[in-house]
Structure 1
Amino acid sequence: MKTFYFIAVLLLGAASAWAQAQISPSARFMLHRAMNSPSRSEAQATVLAIVDLDRNAAASADLLPGTEIVAERGTLALVRFPIDKTEELAALPQVRSISFGKEAMPLMNEARKASYVEPVLQGTGFDRTYRGEGVILGMMDSGLDPNHINFYNQDLSANRITWMATIYGTSGRLTEYKTPSEILAFSTENPQSTHATHVAGIMGGGYNRTATVATSATLTGLDTRRVPFYGVAPYAEMNLCAGDLYEENITLAAENVAQRAKAAGKPCVFNLSVGSVIGPHDGTDAYNRYMSELGKEMIICIAAGNDGNSPVSLQNDFATTPQIKTVLTRSDIAWNGVVEVWNSDATAFDISLEFVNSATGAVAWSVRIPTNKVLYISNSSDNTQGATHNTVFDKAFSSSSNVYATTETNAVNNRYMAQLQFDLTPLSGSSLVPVLTISGTAGKMNAYSQSVAGLGFGNTLTGNAPAAGYTAGNPSQSINNLAMADNIICVGAYLDRLVYPSLDGNSYGYNGYDDADVGHVAAFTSYGTSPSGRSLPDFCAPGMGVISSYSQYCAVKEEQLSARATTTENAPVGTTSRTNTWGIEAGTSMATPYVAGSVALLLEADPTLTVDKVRTLLSETSMKRTGRTDAEQAQWGAGAVNIQDAMLKLLGKPSAINGVNADTARRLSVTRYPGSVAAKVAGSSVVAARLYSVSGALAASAHTSGDEATLSTAGLSGGVYVLKVEAADGTPESRSIIIE
């Protein structure tokens, strides 16, 4: 790490407007809170920022006294400094932009079958097995229990997490855990979450010994047997980070993992099952560019996002529609989240925040968002300097409610933009709703919203009837903003199981959820298009009903658990044993580590693979899918990943599946039972089914009246088979399956 000292004397008065333009809106809002808090205690805080430096400017290596450059990539640097020095730092001639304060959100046995990982792990059709040996798996997430038995090696003698770190708050202080004893003494950084533990288990979990396991949903019950819920790369080494998910912390985590992998001389995959729809969606922001640089040294896999069925994006062409109005929607009690509006160029637009009576449509109060100045709206009881107060606001929202807003011409991409941060809790009986009115003369506008509380763009003031003059949003650009960066792989999710077994003795599932059906893309998969026309996500992997390890520190219901094992090898200090559990989760967060683990298998076979080669390999071998709608088609990307075919292609061998018949099933659903397979074509009066080996030999057949035929698989050798089905209308369909 480097510490630099600035020698020149700065005259900041004339430079303040310029300095404001260099500071990202989220950083500006955090700075405003710190500098205007009544106690001024926050002004003493230290922050970690991504700073874009002009290497050609005079004294480009010199910053302010006490400023610490933690890491550098190209023109970008991770810089730690006191927050009250932000404007002074931004005024330096060599500083082009400063970004901090923006947060991301945390967005297996059946899964391994669905995408043909099992033959690769077992070496079926290969000269050897591939299990991720010699590859480092990294990630940044929240809710990590590093001592779950799922992370130990096969003989349980050592934890495969050989290094981990935590990063809390906005200061970017990284605490390392380098030895087995240090890791064993660690519990968790977030007892309210199990997300990181689940994600890491999908990516590289390896426990395949006995436990109490809920049997298949068709044979409900409990059994003591081997845990089938291990991950994709069960022999890989893991370097994991956890903590607060600010983009600067994520960048610092990725930087550390990349440096460690480089020092060890090992290929590396970095998983990010977190993200944000907020951003310019053009790859120009500092976070995107820094991660793009890191993507040259390791394969970075990110989640597409879980907003594919939410109205989180909004588009408008000012040349044809000079003004657009939209209602901010919510799925929770409060409006809590962030909205960004971007024009396609530097042409300014006017944006006003209005508080509208939902019953009458009348505007109770309207505030215009200023340019290069922070607007802070709060309750009159708030003594923060510079706050804007109004009795309308006081009567409608709680005393802690507030809004931050600003507009600017972005210093990096020269596009005019606005950002608003909402924390609005309505009082009982309040009928006011927030509305954005955006007016412009030229340019094409894109707006984005993000919130754990379902913040979105709507056209209804009350009830379900659209209100005249209002425009609703859509999910067409709901994709994770980081997906726009170069050297990044973006992953969507599909459903590979409808029902999962639980330790409470029951079975649960997704029947009735957004037309959920096995083989269909998950409705929540975010999608979009890059400025270059690249369709995103790149492809999909299993992401609904995925069972993986749970943190023992996060309280969950028994119905969420599918396996439990008591072990001694990973017992916390001062104890003799601990309980390890496995449970269900859904999201592109689950699909992404599936691909990350799969990439580790490919890197074991060829450590020289680049991100472009990996993306091409997985795209070209993905099982092509046809969406039921245009949106579904976009969500699929190149299709469903097929790791077996990807490995065969990498090794120069013919496909084990597509050479017989690629998957074409759209109406066809397949259920595997012990000793049989059921093929169902909904609504058909007759079904004829045949099961073929990959060499083309007929293995089993069945013909029945009705919409479901059952084929016996008793006595068949384990491996990949192709199921061909013909329904009453004569349409042939097929599905590649694995018989165990």
Structure 2
Amino acid sequence: MNRFFQALASFLAFVLLCGFLHAQEQPKASEAGLNITNFGTLPTGPSAQKGDKSHPSKWNAAGQMFLNIYQQSRQKGENEQNLRQQLQEQFGMRSMSAGKNKSMQDYVPVFLSYDDPSALQEAERFGFIPQTKLTNMCTGLLPVKAASKIESIESVTRISVSLKQRIDNDSSRAFTNVTQVGEALWQENGLNQAYDGTGIVVGVIDIGFDYTHPTFYTDPEDPSTCRIKRVWNQNTTGGSPEMYTYGTEYSTAEEIHAAEHDQTGGYHATHVAGTAAGTGAGTQFQGMAPGSELVFVPTASTEASIFDGIAYIRSYANSVNKPCAINISMGLSIGPHDGYSDFDAAVDELVTSDPYGFLISVAAGNEGDIPLHVEANLAPGTSRSTIVEMDDPSMTYVDIWSAPGEDFAAIVFLVDEDGNILEESAAHLSTQESYSQPLPISPEQTSTVRAYPEVNSYTGKTNLFLQINALQAVADGYTVGIQLQPLSETDSVHLHAWVSEGSFSNPAPENPEWMEGNTNYTINGSMGSSQSVITVASYTSRNDWDGTLFNQNEIGEISDFSSRGPLIGGAIKPDIAAPGEIVISSGNSFLSNYLGYLLADESLVNGKEYPWIISQGTSMSTPAVTGIMALLLQQNPYLSIEDMKTLLDETAVRDAFTGETKNARWGYGKIDALAALNVLESDSVYTISVTQNDGGKIIVTHESDTVTSETQFARGTVLRLKAVPETYHFLNSWWDGNTETEREYTVARDADISATFEQETMYTVTIEQTQGGRVLVTCENDTLDSETQLPEGVLVKLYAIADENYHFSEWWDGNTTANRSMALNRDLKIKAFFDEGSANEALASHNINIYPNPSDGVFRMECPGAKEAKVFNTQGQLIQTIRESLDNFSLDMQDQQPGLYYMHIRYPQSSQTVKLVIR
């Protein structure tokens, strides 16, 4: 627990206002008079309660919970309104009209995953409203009344709902050496220029914005100098952005200043944005990148809406041709903690598809001193138990995960004040069952548990998600416990469990059957696990203000509350640490009830007082990193997330507090803006090597210079590539070691550039039809009826004209399936396949067997009858092609990075796509 003030009352008030959301202390079992040191394994009693759902759900565990609570909310009664409020506050459900003159209906924000893009069109016919579209995933608003219809779409593979995320500088600038790179001191420190984030977009996704605070204006007294270029309030209606169908967008200085704020009940976002990029408005409380322009997203706080916010900021930055650094100081302690959640997959794809000049930082979390995690290795016939300490006994979540194929039971029970376990009322739960109704855990049935099992579609891990309502039981003096047991009589299970808004404790330390909670793996489990973000820890840069002592930490020491890694699997998080304890930054002027000791100062601007507020947390350290990333992008607008990690590794401060190597408390160490900019300025010349293949010549030009073999260019130089073909040769493709078919690119690293040429040839296009219907091939305005010759490089487009009762299934050009257009580079026989009834029938499941999946890189595959299999990464790049022995073969991908891959398997008249995961 974070010991922020010497006086407990002051500390609790501070927690409430600052939104640190630390667990409120509850009496532990041993402190409450329990004496259960003689208790070991809870009698298993009857087998786990039987569920009422026989088929696996495509909804994730939180989605199953949402649907069950929604069904109960439809039953008229005194609890109806409370349940609807829970759906809105916990899951982001909103009521809205599907169109003009249409009635209001309920929608829930989701990630919709599919293995065929046609699924999205089918979902839209049932009322699904797509938002951000990716290759095999889309965020969107799902109409709850159509939930079962959308789940029944064959190629929909997963529907994921999330709980709402929680919100988790004078000294900050000095400790990170930002002061040393600004207008006053850049020359002293040997830099080529001053850095303030000019030309960079800083995006903040949060809640509690004051758009009128003078720190967001070039001239604090002139509203027309607003540095906020866009605001997308996701929580209001009317005037949504062009890409989206919810919320309200403000796009002019007048609109933004007139809107004033997104809420009057908090200041978190204003403080965060001020740390990242505030001017300070003439005070000492300047942020890291005061010259940057700003985009604010007051968020609906679900994972899907936060991801939409990321895509929105990136889209705006691209529209003005500027890099962006995005801040997310939100998250939850629950989740898989391994980098394979729906949010992780979505962010990974978005970042890798457009990697340069696109950086995201995420708070590590504020649970580093809370024992909210337990881990257990359980042999057959054994069990371990723990007590759940609840900050909010009316709604506590416990998230339990095991390895793929490892099923387990969880028994939720009560312990009375004398240490007696109430065996008769315990709820016996299993990962092999599903439960649509809450199960009682108290004799009076006033306290309940909801249970939702699922298998993670990315990793195959088993998950049991619990929601415990023990408000009455705790009021009656009971304590809640959980016992975990393997279901297999022969195989062990390895379990990790996390509790949200609480902790785990051990009432019987002498008894090995009981577990104490620990602080390992407490890193932000919903937002901070992706390898495509920078996850930020907090350290102490100040412990007093104006004579008031706020904490006892030594300056430079890690904050007690800063959450710890690593990720499950061993990957190190957090990535870096920055000052987060304590930080003074801008506050929301529309929030009137600041306690005196939180108010550091006020600025009088145009007759109004604007506050500067004391706060702490990884929410405050993260925007320091975001602002510094803006400074680094100012020097090199083409930095990628991998470049950023390399810079942190090279330049982070390592001292007696951090240790010498990257670790699960500090990441690489303490961020140092000056050291990173020195590296960027000195490491800015790159070698371009030019080669030719198969004849012809290639030249690289920069302004009037021509490069024919090898030369050096400064980082950021824009190069144009031209082909000078020999007679009868045409340019086929460019290859710069990273991206194909580029004609112009910006230097960001050493590159080998080659051109491939092929002799001019006329190719024959032959058109065939099978199974009914007609197929047309067009070249510009010409239609090819049966057979013709076209020169190499001509783009042909294919169209299907289906007969009645037939639906188009797929194209096949002898080489690549699912093409709609192609450039000629060989003779082609083009076929169209049609199937009666539905296109999806042609993609009916084949007898495909893949094991293990996930694997360490080697998969055993059985694909009887298949003709070809191709493996792609999430960027769409071809990794491998297999054309022989597909009935039974071994796929070796040990040379690939851990992550998600797709295998497209072609059969004579259909195809199927499956997911592969390398651990």
Superposed CA deviations along residues 302-339 of structure 1, whole A, max 9, x for unmatched, are 01111111111111112488311111013x46363321
C-alpha RMSD of the superposition: 2.8
The partner residue of 2:203 within 120, 138, 141 is 138
The reply to whether residue 24 of structure 1 matches residue 68 of structure 2 is: no
Cα distance in 1, alignment partners of residues 442 and 111 from structure 2: 39
Is the CA contact 2:299–2:309 (under 8 Å) kept in the aligned structure 1? no
Determine helix, strand or coil for the equivalent of 2:664.
helix
The partner residue of 1:368 within 422, 428, 433 is 428
Cα distance in 1, alignment partners of residues 323 and 270 from structure 2: 22
Cα distance in 1, alignment partners of residues 496 and 363 from structure 2: 21
Hey, what does 2:665 align to over in structure 1?
635
Cα distance in 2, alignment partners of residues 103 and 552 from structure 1: 25
Determine helix, strand or coil for the equivalent of 2:677.
helix
The reply to whether residue 277 of structure 1 matches residue 333 of structure 2 is: yes
The reply to whether residue 474 of structure 1 matches residue 518 of structure 2 is: yes
> Matches of residues 553-568 of structure 1 in structure 2 within 5 Å?
553-554=590-591, 555-568=593-606
Hey, what does 1:483 align to over in structure 2?
528
Cα distance in 1, alignment partners of residues 513 and 419 from structure 2: 14
Cα distance in 2, alignment partners of residues 419 and 166 from structure 1: 31
Cα distance in 2, alignment partners of residues 267 and 319 from structure 1: 52
The reply to whether residue 207 of structure 1 matches residue 280 of structure 2 is: yes
> Matches of residues 504-523 of structure 1 in structure 2 within 5 Å?
507-512=547-552, 516-523=553-560
Determine helix, strand or coil for the equivalent of 2:632.
helix
Hey, what does 1:148 align to over in structure 2?
213
Cα distance in 2, alignment partners of residues 619 and 88 from structure 1: 49
Q: Which amino acid aligns with 2:264?
A: P
- Gaps spanning 5+ residues in structure 1: where? 1-14, 210-226, 377-385, 502-506, 569-576, 655-740
> Matches of residues 444-593 of structure 1 in structure 2 within 5 Å?
444-451=494-501, 455-460=502-507, 469-481=513-525, 482-501=527-546, 507-512=547-552, 516-531=553-568, 533-554=570-591, 555-568=593-606, 577-593=607-623
Superposed CA deviations along residues 357-409 of structure 1, whole A, max 9, x for unmatched, are 24223225201225476547xxxxxxxxx454576245xx6xxx653222232
Residues 173 and 369 (structure 1 numbering): CA distance in 2 closer, same or farther, change over 3 Å?
farther
- Gaps spanning 5+ residues in structure 2: where? 1-51, 85-94, 96-104, 238-243, 685-919
Hey, what does 1:620 align to over in structure 2?
650
Task: Note the C-alpha offset of 1:114.
Answer: 0.8
Cα distance in 1, alignment partners of residues 128 and 406 from structure 2: 35
Hey, what does 2:248 align to over in structure 1?
175
Task: Note the C-alpha offset of 1:627.
Answer: 4.0
Higher relative contact order (CA 8 A, sep 6+): 1
The reply to whether residue 243 of structure 1 matches residue 299 of structure 2 is: yes
Hey, what does 1:308 align to over in structure 2?
368
Is the CA contact 2:53–2:434 (under 8 Å) kept in the aligned structure 1? no
The partner residue of 2:443 within 383, 392, 410 is 392
Is the CA contact 1:374–1:404 (under 8 Å) kept in the aligned structure 2? no
Cα distance in 1, alignment partners of residues 543 and 669 from structure 2: 19
Cα distance in 2, alignment partners of residues 26 and 429 from structure 1: 27
- Structure 1, 543-552 or 312-321: larger mean CA deviation: 312-321
* Identity across the alignment (%): 24
The partner residue of 2:165 within 95, 104, 109 is 104
Cα distance in 1, alignment partners of residues 475 and 566 from structure 2: 42
Residues 150 and 613 (structure 1 numbering): CA distance in 2 closer, same or farther, change over 3 Å?
same
Aligned residues: 584
Task: Note the C-alpha offset of 1:546.
Answer: 0.3
Cα distance in 2, alignment partners of residues 415 and 358 from structure 1: 37
The partner residue of 2:69 within 30, 33, 38 is 33
The partner residue of 1:259 within 307, 315, 318 is 315
The reply to whether residue 350 of structure 1 matches residue 409 of structure 2 is: yes
Is the CA contact 1:21–1:411 (under 8 Å) kept in the aligned structure 2? no
Cα distance in 2, alignment partners of residues 391 and 278 from structure 1: 26
Task: Note the C-alpha offset of 1:132.
Answer: 0.5
Hey, what does 2:122 align to over in structure 1?
62
Cα distance in 2, alignment partners of residues 630 and 644 from structure 1: 20
Cα distance in 1, alignment partners of residues 497 and 397 from structure 2: 11
Q: Which amino acid aligns with 1:188?
A: H
Hey, what does 1:430 align to over in structure 2?
476
Cα distance in 1, alignment partners of residues 469 and 544 from structure 2: 37
Residues 532 and 425 (structure 1 numbering): CA distance in 2 closer, same or farther, change over 3 Å?
closer
Q: Which amino acid aligns with 2:415?
A: V
Is the CA contact 2:401–2:464 (under 8 Å) kept in the aligned structure 1? yes
Task: Note the C-alpha offset of 1:201.
Answer: 0.4
Hey, what does 1:681 align to over in structure 2?
none
Hey, what does 1:663 align to over in structure 2?
none
Cα distance in 2, alignment partners of residues 301 and 437 from structure 1: 37
Residues 333 and 52 (structure 1 numbering): CA distance in 2 closer, same or farther, change over 3 Å?
closer
Q: TM-score, normalised by structure 1?
A: 0.74
Q: Which amino acid aligns with 2:258?
A: A
Cα distance in 2, alignment partners of residues 310 and 138 from structure 1: 30
Is the CA contact 1:143–1:195 (under 8 Å) kept in the aligned structure 2? yes
Residues 248 and 402 (structure 1 numbering): CA distance in 2 closer, same or farther, change over 3 Å?
farther
Task: Note the C-alpha offset of 1:413.
Answer: 2.3
Task: Note the C-alpha offset of 1:21.
Answer: 2.2
Q: Which amino acid aligns with 2:544?
A: V
Cα distance in 1, alignment partners of residues 325 and 441 from structure 2: 51
Superposed CA deviations along residues 146-185 of structure 1, whole A, max 9, x for unmatched, are 1111111146541111111112399982211112222112
Hey, what does 1:690 align to over in structure 2?
none
Residues 373 and 550 (structure 1 numbering): CA distance in 2 closer, same or farther, change over 3 Å?
farther
Is the CA contact 1:305–1:479 (under 8 Å) kept in the aligned structure 2? yes
Task: Note the C-alpha offset of 1:435.
Answer: 0.9
Cα distance in 1, alignment partners of residues 567 and 453 from structure 2: 24
Task: Note the C-alpha offset of 1:450.
Answer: 1.5
Hey, what does 1:323 align to over in structure 2?
383
Hey, what does 1:73 align to over in structure 2?
134
The reply to whether residue 337 of structure 1 matches residue 367 of structure 2 is: no
Residues 86 and 421 (structure 1 numbering): CA distance in 2 closer, same or farther, change over 3 Å?
same
Task: Note the C-alpha offset of 1:55.
Answer: 2.7
Hey, what does 1:188 align to over in structure 2?
261
Is the CA contact 2:169–2:583 (under 8 Å) kept in the aligned structure 1? yes
> Matches of residues 667-678 of structure 1 in structure 2 within 5 Å?
none
Give the structure with higher Rg (CA): 2
Superposed CA deviations along residues 406-462 of structure 1, whole A, max 9, x for unmatched, are 2232334221110012343246862211111111142321111222xxx1111128x
Q: Which amino acid aligns with 1:152?
A: Y
- Structure 1, 402-411 or 135-144: larger mean CA deviation: 402-411
Is the CA contact 1:352–1:437 (under 8 Å) kept in the aligned structure 2? yes
Q: TM-score, normalised by structure 2?
A: 0.60
- Structure 1, 230-239 or 68-77: larger mean CA deviation: 68-77
Task: Note the C-alpha offset of 1:17.
Answer: 4.8
